[in-house]
């Protein structure tokens, strides 16, 4: 596509996936904030709402959601985000969509965000992965440096094309070509939450070594940003340990994972005055669950 060509119409070429947990679609900051961008499209944006709540939030198809074409799935097994994104990619492929837009429930998008995505795709037609700048408070959390199973905030990052070497991006807001997403196997469904994005990016960069930072900034929420009970932290830590385990490759990576998980377990045990985190870490990493 030439630089002067009309930007791709995301309503025609994209398929979005929004994962919910114990929150209705109307309550989702992501859904609310994307509304102005979606309503500006000339065609409805297809959206898979994947509801991981124990009880369904209710099929949203009857709501006044101008600009959206919504498909709803309720999965009370709460498999996390990876299964939802992979299912969305398969639905996108069946509908001959070119782009997969990944979303979680608590990212605030600017009102012109999809216009900015379209401009970035038009300017870089050879690139197959696009990501916004995500901020949590004053920190840039995505894109980020990714080393030793840890993400490190960048002081600054400019929009535009760049190498994926040494970098990673978080799931929410990631826009990836459906063909390339499926070619590398999509998200690993064994990894429910933590490490799901980084593990996918590590495989993706073996196929495509560049991505584009979209010229838009989003506010991003995290589970740990507000105080949590020991029980809720323990439940989430189980996801963290499983993600770390299944994102590891080889003996050396396994030792690194054990060190990172062990350090986190010690920190959480001291913070909450509970040895449960050490037991969860040992049980997950030493368990014989099938890979």
Query: What fold does the segment set 10-224 form as a domain?
Result: Spore Coat Polysaccharide Biosynthesis Protein SpsA; Chain A (3.90.550)
Q: Which helix (H) or strand (E) holds 162?
A: strand 160-163
pLDDT, averaged across the chain: 90
Dmax over Cα atoms in the chain, in whole Å?
61
The domains of the chain are located at 10-224, 227-286
Q: Residue 13: how many CA atoms within 13 Å on its side-chain side?
A: 15
- With beta carbons less than 8 A apart as the criterion, state whether 17 and 88 touch: yes
Q: Looking up tokens 């099938």, which residue turns up?
A: 290
Q: What is the DSSP letter of 8?
A: P
- With beta carbons less than 8 A apart as the criterion, state whether 159 and 208 touch: no
Sign of the CA dihedral running 101, 36, 143, 9: positive
Predicted confidence (pLDDT) per residue in 229-268, tens digit: 888 889 889 989 999 999 988 888 888 889 999 999 999 9
The verdict on pTM exceeding 0.85 is yes
- The dihedrals phi and psi of 237, each to the nearest 5 degrees, come to -65, -30
- At residue 224, does pLDDT exceed 80? no
């Amino acid at each position: 596509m030439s630089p002067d060509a009309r930007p791709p119409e995301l309503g025609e070429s994209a398929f979005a996936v929004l994962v919910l947990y114990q929150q209705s679609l109307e309550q989702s900051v992501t859904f609310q904030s994307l509304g102005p961008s979606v309503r500006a499209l000339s065609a409805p944006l297809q959206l898979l709402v994947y509801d991981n709540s124990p009880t369904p939030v209710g099929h949203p198809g009857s709501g006044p959601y101008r600009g959206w074409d919504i498909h709803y799935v309720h999965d009370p097994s709460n498999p996390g985000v990876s299964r939802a994104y992979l299912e969305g990619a398969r639905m996108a492929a069946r509908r001959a969509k070119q782009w997969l837009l990944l979303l979680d429930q608590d990212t605030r998008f600017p009102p012109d965000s999809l216009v900015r995505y379209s401009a970035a795709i038009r300017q870089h037609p050879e690139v197959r992965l696009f990501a916004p700048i995500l901020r949590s408070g004053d920190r840039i959390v995505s894109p980020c440096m990714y080393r030793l199973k840890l993400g490190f905030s960048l002081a600054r990052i400019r929009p535009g094309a760049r190498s994926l070497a040494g970098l990673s991006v978080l799931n929410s807001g990631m826009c990836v070509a459906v063909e390339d997403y499926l070619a590398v196997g999509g998200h690993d469904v064994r990894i429910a939450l933590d490490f799901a994005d980084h593990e996918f990016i590590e495989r993706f960069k073996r196929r495509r070594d560049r991505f584009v930072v979209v010229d838009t900034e989003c506010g991003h929420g995290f589970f740990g940003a507000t105080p949590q009970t020991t029980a809720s932290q323990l439940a989430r830590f189980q996801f963290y340990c499983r993600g770390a385990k299944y994102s590891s490759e080889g003996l050396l990576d396994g030792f690194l994972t054990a060190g990172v998980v062990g350090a986190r377990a010690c920190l959480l045990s001291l913070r909450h005055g509970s040895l449960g985190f050490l037991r969860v870490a040992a049980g997950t990493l030493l368990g014989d669950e099938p890979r």
